[in-house]
């Protein structure tokens, strides 16, 4: 094809033919976009790392909760053992030398 079409010159875009101000604007625009893309990539990396760190912390807390729940269950069982009626009566009779009163010593108090 020839550069002339029906008597008119065809315009071609060439970077070298652009004005210096236009080239500087494109350069700075591309530079800003590249910095924004790199900043976005680093932000994604940082947020991914923070998410994994928080998930690890969550797993440690859940394990700690499980151990505490286990200890609490053991303590409830121990408390119910120490507070059982049989044990309280046994300690009252053996260590405190307590006994039930005789039926003859019961008194009924009226209102």
**pLDDT one-digit tens code per residue, 1-13:** 555 556 566 555 5
Mean pLDDT across the chain:
87
Q: Angle at Cα 17 formed by Cα 20 and Cα 29, nearest 5°?
A: 45
Joined tokens for residue 47:
């947020």
pLDDT tens, position by position, 14-65? 555 568 888 889 999 999 999 999 999 999 999 999 999 999 999 999 999 9
- DSSP run (H or E) holding 60: helix 20-82
Measured CA to CA in angstroms, residue 86 lies from 18, 45, 81, 82, 110 at distances of 101, 64, 9, 9, 32
In the numeric block, the tokens 């940082």 are attached to 46
In the numeric block, the tokens 């009779």 are attached to 93
């Amino acid at each position: 094809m020839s550069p002339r079409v029906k008597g008119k010159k065809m315009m071609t875009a060439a970077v070298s033919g652009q004005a210096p101000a236009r080239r500087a604007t494109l350069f700075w625009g591309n530079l800003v976009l590249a910095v924004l893309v790199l900043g976005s990539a680093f932000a994604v990396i940082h947020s991914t790392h923070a998410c994994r760190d928080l998930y690890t912390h969550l797993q440690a807390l859940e394990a700690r909760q499980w151990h505490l729940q286990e200890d609490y269950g053991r303590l409830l069982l121990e408390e119910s053992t120490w507070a059982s009626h049989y044990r309280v009566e046994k300690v009252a009779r053996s260590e405190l030398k307590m006994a039930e009163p005789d039926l003859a010593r019961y008194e009924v108090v009226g209102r």
